Amino acid sequence: MRLFPGLPGVRGPAFGPMLGFSLVFAALQPAGATEGAAVFADPSKIAAIGGSITEIVYALGEEKHLVARDSTSNYPKAALDLPDVGYMRQLSPEGVLSVGPTGILALHGSGPKEAVDVLKKTSIPFIEVPEHYSHEGILEKIRIVGKAIGADAKAETLASEIDSKLKAAEKQTASIKDRKRVLFVLSMQGGKIMAAGSETAANGIIKLAGGVNAIEGFSGYKQLSDEAIVTARPDVIMVMNNAGPPISDDELFSNVSIGSTPAGVARKLIRMDGGYLLGFGPRTADAIHDLSVSLYGARITD
């Protein structure tokens, strides 16, 4: 088993090359230790590792500091003009150091561990930013990134703006009593459903949008038995666009176990862009709103 290409923190069967497959999401472990209290002595050439990290720097209007990005950093479009140092979970020290950074700002879960250990032992300051799939986790990331590059005031302003947007987005489903049970399907390799459990970005966004993760009892991503899918009784199936081999409607709903669930009978499926849905950055309030509308339609309140 190796890292699921393009899916930070997801371990599963290896796939072949996945064009356009870059997003930040879904650590199997909760956020770890952070060195984010640090401030770069020289923030003039920062290598940003992690899509939400790069997005935050741009949202702060501080992209002048960036000298490189990783392959999960594909938003905003302007970020694609930066040199790409590789996939955040398959970094090579040589690739990161080749851009001559004065600092490395990396999302928790960047790896492999051996590469990160080498980078931390160089003279280049390395700041790790924690990843919590929650409202407060997003604000924490913004503040840590802002502090690291010397943009504390801008970070507080952005955090306040995002906080208000997140509160408004979450409030939309506050009055919903019958919460939709959502099954997030990561892949269907060999007809086997790999789904999201707890401590994943998928679980976090489902909760923020007023839904309930139909899967309980494990963290991370796991292949489900037919019995587990039937027992989960999802009202809705959710999959990503622009992320790996596409899952067609027919492929999904022809699965016998899926077909016997409420979601399968109603053919209720939500598709959203993976990076947008699971990035947990400045756009997450909009993603929460869009997912809430897809789940509850006119029942959500402004």
Confidence band (pLDDT; 50, 70, 90) for 197?
very high
Domain end among 153, 171, 189: 171
Contact predicate 104/35, CB 8 Å: no
Nearest-angstrom CA–CA distance, 45 and 47: 7
Question: What does the pLDDT read at residue 114?
Answer: 97
In a domain, 221, yes or no: yes
Q: Is 70 exceeded by the pLDDT of residue 285?
A: yes
Question: What does the pLDDT read at residue 179?
Answer: 96
In a domain, 165, yes or no: yes
Model confidence pLDDT, tens digit, residues 69-79: 999 999 999 99
Question: What does the pLDDT read at residue 193?
Answer: 95
Question: What does the pLDDT read at residue 73?
Answer: 95
Closest residue by Cα to residue 149 from 103, 184, 113: 103
Domain end among 129, 152, 171: 171
* Measured distance between the N- and C-terminal CA atoms of the chain, rounded to whole angstroms: 45
pLDDT > 90: what percent of the chain? 82
Closest residue by Cα to residue 280 from 199, 224, 193: 199
Tokens 């401590």 — which residue?
A: 199
Residue-range definition of the domain harbouring residue 63 = 31-171
- CATH number of the domain encompassing residue 122: 3.40.50.1980
Question: What does the pLDDT read at residue 300?
Answer: 77
Residues 99 and 222 in one domain: no
Phi-psi region of 120 (alpha: psi -120 to 50; beta: other; left: phi over 0): alpha
Nearest-angstrom CA–CA distance, 294 and 190: 29
Residues 217 and 156 in one domain: no
In a domain, 230, yes or no: yes
Residues 191 and 156 in one domain: no
Q: Which of 85-94, 129-138, 160-169, 186-195 has the lowest mean pLDDT?
A: 186-195
Overall average pLDDT of the 200-215 stretch:
97
Contact predicate 155/146, CB 8 Å: yes
Residues 129 and 252 in one domain: no
- CA trace torsion 109, 131, 237, 285 (10° rounding): -140
pLDDT > 70: what percent of the chain? 86
In a domain, 11, yes or no: no
CA distance readout (Å), 151 to 207, 227, 259 = 31, 51, 51
Question: What does the pLDDT read at residue 302?
Answer: 64
Q: Which two tokens stand for residue 217?
A: 């009892």
Q: Which residue has the higher pLDDT, 300 or 124?
A: 124
In a domain, 161, yes or no: yes
In a domain, 88, yes or no: yes
Q: Is 60 exceeded by the pLDDT of residue 181?
A: yes
Residues 221 and 291 in one domain: yes
Q: Tell me the sheet residues that pair with 49.
A: 106
Q: Which of 50-59, 122-131, 151-160, 183-192 has the lowest mean pLDDT?
A: 183-192
Q: Is 60 exceeded by the pLDDT of residue 196?
A: yes
Residues 42 and 71 in one domain: yes
In a domain, 6, yes or no: no
Long-range contacts of 140-147 (CB under 8 A, 24+ apart): 141/52, 141/53, 141/56, 141/280, 141/281, 142/56, 142/59, 142/60, 142/282, 144/34, 144/36, 144/37, 145/36, 145/53, 145/56, 145/57, 145/60, 145/105, 146/56, 146/60, 147/36, 147/37, 147/39
In a domain, 83, yes or no: yes
Domain end among 151, 171, 191: 171
Residues 105 and 198 in one domain: no
Q: Which of 31-35, 134-138, 161-165 has the lowest mean pLDDT?
A: 31-35
Tokens 């998928």 — which residue?
A: 202
Structural domain tally of the chain? 2
Contact predicate 197/222, CB 8 Å: yes
Q: How far is CA 170 from the centre of its chain?
A: 18
Q: Which residue has the higher pLDDT, 2 or 7?
A: 7
Residues 191 and 165 in one domain: no
Residues 46 and 122 in one domain: yes
Model confidence pLDDT, tens digit, residues 228-281: 999 999 999 999 987 667 889 999 999 999 999 999 999 999 999 999 999 999
